[in-house]
A and B are shown apart, each in its own frame.
Chain A
Amino acid sequence: MSAEDILVSFQGVQKSYDGEQLVVKDLNLDIAKGEFLTMLGPSGSGKTTCLMMLAGFEPATHGEIYLDGRPINNVPPHKRGIGMVFQNYALFPHMTVAENLAFPLQVRKQMNKAEVAERVQKTLDMVQLGEFGNRRPMQLSGGQQQRVAVARALVFDPELVLMDEPLGALDKQLREQMQYEIKHIHEQLGVTVVYVTHDQSEALTMSTRVAVFNDGVIQQIAAPDVLYEKPDNAFCAQFIGENNTFVGEIMSVKGETCEVKLVDGSVVTSNKIDAASAVGSRTTLSLRPERIEVNPSAKSKYANAFEGTVKELIYLGDHIRTVASVCGNDEFIVKIPNSSEHASLSVGEKVKLGWTVEDCRALDA
């Protein structure tokens, strides 16, 4: 991306709370205008700390953060002009919904009363809460509170909106519905959103790009489909979606592919991803459960085909989750789509399982 497209830029940012441990280690990240960037990671990975540094509630221990080209390390939170949706919404309980929304407009003192009221109503209408202006936040349901929080973060037209696990308190169905709603609002308004979550499906649904955090470092930053289909390392492969792993040793390298000898002696041909791996080094193979074919008809299609034993079958409606024992891995998962002519298996049955070289990725150990 070119320099004028960049809205937020972290440059060499480090953060420590106690002076002994780095929570964020040397973060370099550019966020483009209009982007929906999700910071995804397990708790304690430093993603929320990054968001807090961007909002101005935590100072960076080292490095510089730029907003629209200006360094903002010494700008207090109230002068940054960044909207934020907090984890528990932080709606002011002593104000009505409309007063909550009017608050950022009033403290900015750039509008008269009528303009404020008009803007508040417009924003409430946008989140379909036009009738609820006179209610207190406590009188609303969780989903409605969530919408008010989003509306309040948007009402003063910020260029950048931060969201800190905003859907964490909602039940599954509502969460999915809100994901689409937030996504649509983002598309409508064109604001830049930085979104923090530990829920990978949420990250995949909503984002333009996802930054996967672990241990204070970004493991991979990519679009959702790339992240899912082509993980760069074992952590990303494991953290996003379901994943089968084999641990083994590289026997030979041939261009983009390599042959890996597993613990039980079988040899798997796979796509070599980790640049550092050479013949003799250890590697983790990653394989998505839905990319495995049961009893493949034409053996030529699959470079890898092994015999396994079915250990467990779990009926999940749209697919059947099969646990098998293959190549020394007793927890090998295969997702069999519940199509009209899917293979019907029984526990204890011996089956052939096949997969391509491209779907099997040799990552770091």
Chain B
Amino acid sequence: MAEESGPILTANGIPLKVSLERSMRQNKLKAVGLVSVPFVFLVLMFVIPIIMLLVRSADDRLVNDVFPRTFEAFKSWDQVDLPDEEMFKAVVLDFQESKPSERGRASSRMNYAKSGWRSLVRKTGKKVKDVTEGPYKEALIKIDKRWANVETWKSLAIMESDWTYEYYLNSIDLKQNSDLEIVQQPENRRVYNMFWWRTFLVSIQVTLFCLILAYPVAHLLATLPLKHSNLLMICVLMPFWTSLLVRIVAWMIMLQQEGVVNSTLVWAGMLSDENRLAMMYNYNGVLIVMTQILLPFMILPLYSVMKTIPPSYMRAAQNLGATPSLAFIRVYMPQTLPGIGAGCILVFIVAIGYFITPELVGGKDGQLIGNQINYHMRNSLNWGLACAMGSILLIGILALYWVYDKIVGIDNMKMG
């Protein structure tokens, strides 16, 4: 036919594709309009903050901005002998032309690279305005003899670039020495690996406990007649309607040394008064309370999957000769895998970043990486490190998704 060679035309001679586009334009505009508001919100409130978090975790321009001449001179230094007069002059000029507050912030950063920088900058800053002419070398060394130490100068190498992975190294107990080699932190400063390991352990255990507790509950919810399952559903959702603090305090009342559980055990004679169990302000307390708080996140996805499995599958399996337990393992459980996957990922992700519960009931050996991020955000003001830790969490979670997608397939997941 003739039409086959050229584009297909409509009755009035316009190409079909153009005509189709025109007829669909109205709908397209409507769809774009409806989506635009949440899209803008998502970008402003979610995408941009995450990008800024990632940028800040690697941003190292602070020092370079305050000491531009110094780093310019640093480039031509051989890094073996003490620098020449030019570099000392650059330092003095940088000092004289920067505000003390800027220097203060920069010196905090410099202190991460080599301890001592903060006091050196503060001390130098106070006296540097008296230095009006050369030789600058002697003048600076006169102010503080640390300026005569090559190591002090060499540590500038770590700060030279605009970007750094120093924070990432720090968050896993590594650092760069002044020769830019990656080495372990000194023994007394290795802390974070322990927190990472503990966070991972707590999250895995909480996920496991939640799965064990949630599975029978979800099964009951999915199979009970409606009037009973409604009541049970309310019991499951009740914690959602109660403030997190109230729940944690309730657990404190239950679990502390003089608490309900210990007192009951002592009263029943199962425990002597001196041997009251320590179930709070330690690792166990975090496990117990987090499991309870995160339980609904496991129950709901499991329930929504189990609800879709008709009872006829179990019947069919038994009819075909499988004992009830075999029918459960071979027919029922494989079909709940999407729910198990979704629940485990959900609980694990929430658990890995948890910090309120460990803060309140964790005591000394129940603090998690979330508490460290909180500490560096609010107390030590080392935002770079906090952002790096946050980024590691984010990357870890994305990696988890990726693995899940490879093994089970993400489109199999049912969130509830």
Contacts known (A94-B334, A94-B335); A78 close to B312, Cβ less than 8 A = no
Name the B residues within 8 Å of A94 (CB-CB). 334-335, 337
Query: Are B334 and A78 in contact, CB atoms less than 8 angstroms apart?
Result: no
Interface range on chain A: under 10, 10 to 19, 20 to 34, or 35 or more? 20 to 34
Query: Are A90 and B310 in contact, CB atoms less than 8 angstroms apart?
Result: yes
Contacts known (A90-B310, A92-B313); A103 close to B320, Cβ less than 8 A = yes
Query: Are A90 and B312 in contact, CB atoms less than 8 angstroms apart?
Result: yes
In the assembly, what is the distance between CA of A78 and CA of B330, in Å? 14
Contacts known (A90-B312, A93-B335); A84 close to B321, Cβ less than 8 A = no
Contact of B321 among A88, A92, A93, A156 (CB under 8 A): A156
Query: Are B312 and A87 in contact, CB atoms less than 8 angstroms apart?
Result: yes
In the assembly, what is the distance between CA of A104 and CA of B310, in Å? 19
CB distance from B9 to the nearest CB of A (A): 38
Name the A residues within 8 Å of B334 (CB-CB). 94
In the assembly, what is the distance between CA of A103 and CA of B334, in Å? 14
Name the A residues within 8 Å of B316 (CB-CB). 84, 86, 90, 92
- Among A80, A81, A86, A108, max chain B CB count under 10 A is at A86
B193 within 8 A of A: no
Name the A residues within 8 Å of B321 (CB-CB). 78, 81, 104, 107-108, 156
A57 within 8 A of B: yes
Nearest B residue to A87 via CB reads: B312
Query: Are A82 and B331 in contact, CB atoms less than 8 angstroms apart?
Result: no
- Interface residue total, chain B, C-beta cutoff 8 A: 20
Query: Are B315 and A78 in contact, CB atoms less than 8 angstroms apart?
Result: no
CB distance from B116 to the nearest CB of A (A): 63
Name the A residues within 8 Å of B318 (CB-CB). 56, 76-78
In the assembly, what is the distance between CA of A234 and CA of B132, in Å? 122
Name the A residues within 8 Å of B323 (CB-CB). 78, 107
B319 within 8 A of A: yes
B322 within 8 A of A: yes
A357 within 8 A of B: no
Q: List 16 A-B contacts (CB under 8 A).
A: A56-B319, A76-B324, A78-B318, A78-B321, A78-B327, A81-B321, A83-B319, A87-B312, A90-B312, A90-B313, A92-B313, A92-B316, A92-B317, A103-B317, A107-B321, A108-B321
**B residues at A contact (CB < 8 Å):** 310, 312-313, 315-324, 326-327, 330-331, 334-335, 337
The 7 closest A-B pairs by CB, nearest first: A104-B320, A90-B316, A90-B312, A77-B318, A107-B322, A94-B334, A78-B318
